Amino acid sequence: MKKLLIIAALGLLLIGSGIWLLYSSAPAIYIPESSPVITMCNVNRTIGQGDTILAIYEEGSIVYLEDNGPFGRVWHTGKIGEAELGNLLDFFRESGFGEMERVYQFPGVSVPGATKMGGMSCSFTLNYGGLLKTVDANWYLSPDGGKTYPDMPYPLNEIYRRLRIIADNYTEEVYRESTKISLLWEQYMFT
């Protein structure tokens, strides 16, 4: 009888574990096999801020990843319309992005209001219409916690603004990864 109870308990434990794994596993996140036509990688070196990657593909698919370091990642996906993507690609071409230098460094002179510590490095890549160009902007300041970077040279400041609007308005959260540290933090904060 004791063996039967142990086997039954182990069976329930395995079934419960299987159900938990089924419901807690990551969903399939659609990422196109082609290379993105526009990519923005934002590495924030300011304490408490996360890194982000935004990729926009030729058919309009968007993958937006917010990496919060040891606290986990948040995946967003979405789609942008053909007209909106066309307007964005036109802006890249017409703004002089293709003629920009490879790297820009914050010169230490700020526009009024941009007083927060500079800790952002942002990389913009356009891979469309025969142009493969990457431009980096390093250590720029933000007056609004990373929503805009007015000190970045034109058109990078405008490209950043437009891509943030796309990330905020055209994507939705599809998965939230948690690390051991984030699970411990959540347990500490909410118990």
Summarize pLDDT for 40-70 with one digit per residue, the tens: 998 765 555 568 899 999 999 999 998 877 6
Residue written as tokens 């219409």?
129
Break the chain into its structural domains and give their ranges: 34-189
Q: Read off the amino acid at residue 155.
A: P
Q: Which residues of 146-168 are buried (b: 16+ CB within 10 A; e: fewer)?
A: bebbbbbeebbbebbebbbebbe
CA dihedral 153, 158, 163, 169 (to 10 degrees): 150
Summarize pLDDT for 85-117 with one digit per residue, the tens: 999 999 999 999 999 999 998 877 655 555 444
Query: What's the number of CA atoms in the CB half-sphere (13 Å) around residue 85?
Result: 20
Q: Report the pLDDT value the prediction gives residue 21, as an integer from 0 to 100.
A: 39
Residue 172 predicted with pLDDT over 90: yes
Residues 6+ apart with CB under 8 A from 47: none
In this prediction the pTM is 0.76
DSSP string across 114-125: --SPP-EEEEEE
Q: Report the pLDDT value the prediction gives residue 17, as an integer from 0 to 100.
A: 40
**What band does 120 get if pLDDT is binned at 50, 70 and 90?**
confident
Q: How far is CA 27 from CA 14, 68, 88, 90, 106, in A?
A: 22, 19, 30, 34, 40
Does residue 137 or residue 118 have the better pLDDT? 137
- CB 25: neighbour CB atoms within 10 A? 9
Q: Report the pLDDT value the prediction gives residue 25, as an integer from 0 to 100.
A: 63
Q: What residues form DSSP beta bridges with 131? A: 128
The fourth-level CATH superfamily of domain 34-189 is Mago nashi (3.30.1560.10)
The whole-angstrom separation of Cα 169 and Cα 96 is 26
Mean pLDDT (the chain, rounded):
78
The whole-angstrom separation of Cα 89 and Cα 72 is 32
**What band does 6 get if pLDDT is binned at 50, 70 and 90?**
very low
Q: Report the pLDDT value the prediction gives residue 101, as an integer from 0 to 100.
A: 95
The whole-angstrom separation of Cα 97 and Cα 149 is 17
The whole-angstrom separation of Cα 37 and Cα 41 is 13
